[in-house]
Amino acid sequence: METPLVRIAPAAGSLNLNLLEIWQYRELLYFLIWRNIKVRYKQTIIGAGWAIIQPFLTMVIFSLFFGMLARLPSEGLPYPIFYYSALLPWVYFANALNQATHTIVEHQHVIAKTYFPRVLLPISAVLSGLVDFALAFVVFVGMMVWYRIMPSARALALPLFLLLAISAALAIGLWLSALNAMYRDVRYALPYAVQLWMFASPVAYPSSLVPEGWRWIYALNPMATVIEGFRWALLGQGWPLGNSILGPAAVVFLLMVGGFAYFQRVEGTIADIV
């Protein structure tokens, strides 16, 4: 029988991302994701319908105001599908970020009583949102049929953009969940930040509206690439940003490494501060 020896000591201060430990706790990760999904729409009438209503209603509102009233360009696509294709990853990202940010504070009771890698909490928050995404995606498929848009082979690249969205949500979520544990200001600032971020992403307008000289910096916003990627892969529009996916991927990677390091620094004292 294995009897592992664990040394409990003050924080060493060096970054060692313990991937092995996360792997050892994969069953708990599975249970946390399962719990999040199970609990999310308990005691609601519409239940999982909220996963569809959120992006769908926003799409209707955008189509009315930005589309029919303001007449913003939509790359020749019908307004509803132009907006919905962007809201699909955006609503996932915004919700995942929101869940991840609050997860440490919401679990303060468990955190004070037992040990597990705390990083499982933001990871499970980000991953459990994928069920909502899948439900909203079914509606998207229905819209494709309605507008008689045939996806091309580009649709195979979609998982890549989805992965970028998941990684972006986790990277920022690591930062914000740890920051929120210490500074509750985060929870009040977050809704505004997310809203600003949405307008800094091509959700309500096409990236081609951005002046060309600014596009390279605009493209560093990972969600701009994710959204244009969705439209490119599913609706066959062009690639207005003209950037490679590597730029935003590098941004996300750096944010993720920093996020893990910061999270780990806070992790040992989280039970003392939440």
Partner 1 sequence: MSEIAIRTEGLSKRYRIGQLRRHPSLRDLLEQSIRAPFRALRRAIDGTHPPGDGHSGSASRSVDTENFVWALRNVSLQVRAGEVVGIIGSNGSGKSTLLKLLSRVTRPTAGHADVRGRVGSLLDVGTGFHPELTGRENTFLSGAILGMTKAEIAHRFNEMVAFAEVEKFIDTPVKHYSTGMFLRLAFSVAAHLEHEILLVDEILAAGDAAFQRKCLQRIANAAKEGRTVLYVSHQLEQVRGLCQRSIWLDAGSIRLAGPTSDVISHYEEALTSVPANSTG
Q: Is 38 in the site for partner 1 (CB under 8 A)?
A: yes
Q: Is 111 in the site for partner 1 (CB under 8 A)?
A: yes
Alpha-carbon distance 151 to 196, whole Å?
Answer: 31
Fill in the DSSP letter of residue 233: H
The number of CA neighbours under 13 Å toward the Cβ of 170 is 22
Q: Is 192 in the site for partner 1 (CB under 8 A)?
A: no
Identify residues 250-269 at the interface with partner 1 (CB under 8 A): 268-269
Q: Is 273 in the site for partner 1 (CB under 8 A)?
A: yes
**Residues 92/167, Cβ–Cβ less than 8 Å:** no
Q: Is 37 in the site for partner 1 (CB under 8 A)?
A: no
For residue 101, with 0-12 CB atoms within 10 Å meaning exposed, 13-18 middle and 19 or more buried, which class applies? buried
**Helix H or strand E encompassing 228:** helix 222-235
Check residue 75 and give left, alpha or beta (phi > 0: left; psi -120 to 50: alpha).
Answer: left
The number of CA neighbours under 13 Å toward the Cβ of 8 is 2
Of 27 and 150, which CB lies nearer to partner 1 in the complex structure?
27
Kindly determine how many residues on this chain lie close enough to bind partner 1 according to the rule CB under 8 A.
35
Q: Is 43 in the site for partner 1 (CB under 8 A)?
A: yes
- Closest distance between partner 1 and the C-beta of residue 262, in Å? 13
Q: Is 182 in the site for partner 1 (CB under 8 A)?
A: yes
Choice from 19, 45, 71, 114 touching partner 1 (CB under 8 A): 114
Choice from 17, 37, 116, 151 touching partner 1 (CB under 8 A): 116
**Residues 263/118, Cβ–Cβ less than 8 Å:** yes
Q: Which residues bind partner 1 (CB under 8 A)?
A: 3-11, 27-28, 30-31, 35, 38-39, 42-43, 109-116, 182-185, 268-269, 271-273
